[in-house]
Chains A and B, each alone.
Chain A
Amino acid sequence: MGKTITEKIFSEKLKRDVRAGEIVVSPIDLAFVQDGTGPLSIEELEKLNMVRVFDSGKVILFIDHASPSPRRELSNMHIKLREFSKKTGCILSDVGYGVCHEVVVEEYASPGDVIIGADSHTCTAGALGAFATGMGSTDVALGMALGKQWFRVPETLRFVVQGTLPPGVYSKDLILHIIGMIGADGATYKAMEFEGEAIEKLSMEARFTLTNMAVEAGAKTGLIATDEKTREYLKSMGREEKYREIKPDADAEYEKTYTIDASSLEPVVAFPHTVDNVKSIKEAEGIEIDQVYIGTCTNGRLEDLRIAAQILRGREVRTRLIVVPASRKVYLDALKEGLIEIFVRAGGAVISPGCGPCVGIHQGVLGDKERVLSTQNRNFKGRMGNPEGEIFLASPATAAATALEGKITDPRRYL
């Protein structure tokens, strides 16, 4: 019996046949934390007398969640991260450099890697054929010091997406559709593998949106086999030599296979307060919106900004519009292409790379009874800093069209 991508990666790491269900201790290729989780990791290492890193080039501290810092307490937490980086020589990704998951795929993650991050959306890197999963501060701290962690090798759910996504329908709509279909716990403890004609046609950027949101179905990670697009992406990031083929065996054993016809999909919106509360754009249209947020590790990449800018070009928004490029690289590319000017002329507020208002700390906290339509990945009660606010999730195109109309709008009207 063949292997899933997950089983292949762990078999390679452990140099023996590894199957779903086993608990293994595996070497890791990368361990990272962010400013909300990292200070606790450092405290744990101090308590354990293990203030060290297994490889200074494979441990990263990101300052992206409260970045730049809006408060003294958080500034002091940032100092703790900078001091740890100085002490151990590990990599520091400071204010303005970008969201951890975007920087990881641009600069660090490679096919076949095992990656742990103290952030639930670490699964994003799975689109590069890496096994990447989120863990708590202490687990990642141990990974940083020891260069290994224990894993239960997950069973895999396979999602075969046939056909082509119609115009105005994006990978964000596809993943929201899937989560709506299987539920916010539909993949708990499992790996999700995405394959099929529609996936092959997606750019790497669009694929990252899919794997980013695997955790919103409860999954341990989301994975996509590597192909020419993976190679091209790595080449564009200056590390083509890292490309290699990672794909499941044809006779791999899956716990379940779902087949989806991409051509039948339409734009969707996740309603408050769970990600699986997914409805068609028809049911959502007309709901008044106060703020639109385009950005995050889910949809803050260049392709996302291009899609939004195409709709916003030469027009003016009726909502508040916040745009946050996911990384410095995305920001610079968007500047070069004139996208930032389009957002600013349309009435948007462009904020430096980071998580922006997604986490509810700063840069766009909701007022009471306010509604936001965001391209982020979660809409839990209180997520954006106010339990009295309501969060709707959609694609960058739906977000841009909604900003123009002041109410949730089908983006296909602007294509």
Chain B
Amino acid sequence: MRIKGRVWKFGDNISTDHITPGRYFHLRSNIQELARHVMEDADPEFPRKVKPGDIIAAGKNFGLGSSREYAPRVIKISGVSCILAKSFARIFYRNAINIGLPVITCDTDRIDEGDEVEIDVEKGIVRNLTKGEEIPASPIPPFMLRILEDGGIEEHIKKYGDFRLEE
């Protein structure tokens, strides 16, 4: 799985409340509408600026807070193809893989807003094409990578009827 896109930068500790604020709780009944407010409390302009294929590069502890699966879902619906961060909160990380949104841990200090990056998800390599640099990344654990490659946990379960830990 290779992904190429333009980067939007965010800082540390972007919470699930930044990503999908509680005041839009009622819009969970209409996720397309909910997605129109994606990342609104981190950058009010983001929902208008983001284009399909774009990539988020954030600091540490991205997605901390609530278990709301809507957080990765609205990011995916907005067209974002991958999230890079120095680290992820665990529930968010698992939710993102479950819904088929690649999340890669790497040193995002070497990426600026507007840079074009290319990601090899299997190998865990991030290339900053703008700066001509290769950034080492932590690979996704094998079982989670399989879920991601299946297209998410829903597809994984459809395929195997169960959790398939081993190849």
Contacts and interface: CB of A to CB of B under 8 A. Distances in A.
B70 interface: yes
A146 interface: yes
Interface string A221-240: 00000000000000000000
B1 interface: no
A389 to B, nearest CB: 11
Interface in A30-62: 36-37, 39-40, 44, 47-48
Interface in A335-389: 359-361, 365, 378, 380-387
Q: Could you say which of A39, A122, A274, A387 has the most chain B C-beta atoms within 10 Å of its C-beta?
A: A387
B49 interface: no
A378 B27 contact: no
Q: Could you say which of B23, B41, B61, B157 has the most chain A C-beta atoms within 10 Å of its C-beta?
A: B23
Contacts of B69: 37, 40, 118, 136-138
B23 A361 contact: yes
B31 to A, nearest CB: 8
Nearest to B21: A382
Interface string B1-28: 0000000000001011110011101111
B157 A380 contact: no
Contacts, number: 139
Question: What range describes how many residues of B lie at the interface?
Answer: 35 or more
Given A188-B89, A360-B25, A120 B61 contact: no
A248 interface: no
Nearest to A218: B89
Interface of B: 13, 15-18, 21-23, 25-30, 41, 60-61, 64-70, 87, 89-91, 94-95, 98-99, 141, 143, 152-154, 157-158, 162-163, 165
8 contacts: A37-B69, A66-B25, A74-B25, A117-B67, A138-B98, A150-B163, A360-B23, A365-B23
